[in-house]
Structure 1
Amino acid sequence: MSALQKRRHVTLEQAQAALPEQGLRFVSMLTHGSLLVEYYAPRGKDLQTPHTRDEIYVVMEGRGWFVNGEERHTFGPGDVIFVPAGVVHRFEDFTDDLGVWVIFYGPEGGEAS
């Protein structure tokens, strides 16, 4: 069992400290079954591509715009955003302090509606 599988509690401070300084700024923090929790803090531009599983973002810090398929809306701290598997999405025009929990779950291809 890996350290990520053993972990049952993680703090925002631990996630922020574990982020790489350069490159794609995300870090996996815990996993269990199909669940994967990461912390993501892009800087400048969000270069994400669609993911193969459903995901939820919980905005911890920062503000901006979020593209979710055909929709585009503002976001800020405390917001929760759902993105179905395979949908084009990205953060745009966001502040330099953007940081979000990313929760992936379910089967490849996403859950049925």
Structure 2
Amino acid sequence: MRLFEHGSLEVEYYKPDKVDKQKPHDRDEIYVVISGSGIFVNGDQRHAFETGQVLFVPAGVVHRFEDFTKDFATWVFFYGPEGGEKG
């Protein structure tokens, strides 16, 4: 659910139901975990996450949340140009 938009910045609330079916996005993104925990797949890396963590995903990278708790929810911040920021 999109909640805010200004320039290239979009802020969304994301709460998948049992399975995270995301596809790679065309812009960089940051997740701020509101509640819950689980495993975050970010390209070829997998790591545990929990409430309060900040997670970064470059544009075009396969990513998803797995084995997350029922209360899992996150803010998502999309920003920058398509293809991601270079730098």
**Which structure 2 residue ranges, 5 or more long, are not aligned?**
none
1:60 aligns with 2:34: yes
Q: What root-mean-square deviation, in Å, do the aligned CA atoms of Structure 1 and Structure 2 show?
A: 0.4
**TM-score normalised by the chain length of structure 2:** 0.99
What's the counterpart of residue 38 of structure 1? 12
Superposed, which structure 2 residues align to 1:3-82 within 5 Å? Answer: 27-82=1-56
- Structure holding more strand per residue: 2
Report the alpha carbon displacement of residue 43 of structure 1 after superposing the two structures with TM: 1.3
**TM-score normalised by the chain length of structure 1:** 0.76
1:96 aligns with 2:70: yes
Report the alpha carbon displacement of residue 83 of structure 1 after superposing the two structures with TM: 0.1
Query: After superposition, what is the alpha-carbon deviation per residue over 1:24-80, rounded to whole angstroms, capped at 9, x for unaligned?
Result: xxx000000000000000010000000000000000101000000010000000000
Look up the equivalent residue of 1:71 and give its one-letter code: Q
Query: After superposition, what is the alpha-carbon deviation per residue over 1:1-32, rounded to whole angstroms, capped at 9, x for unaligned?
Result: xxxxxxxxxxxxxxxxxxxxxxxxxx000000
Moved over 3 A (4+): none
Rg larger in 1 or in 2? Answer: 1
How many residues are treated as equivalent by the alignment?
87
Look up the equivalent residue of 2:66 and give its one-letter code: E
> What percent of counterpart residues are identical?
64
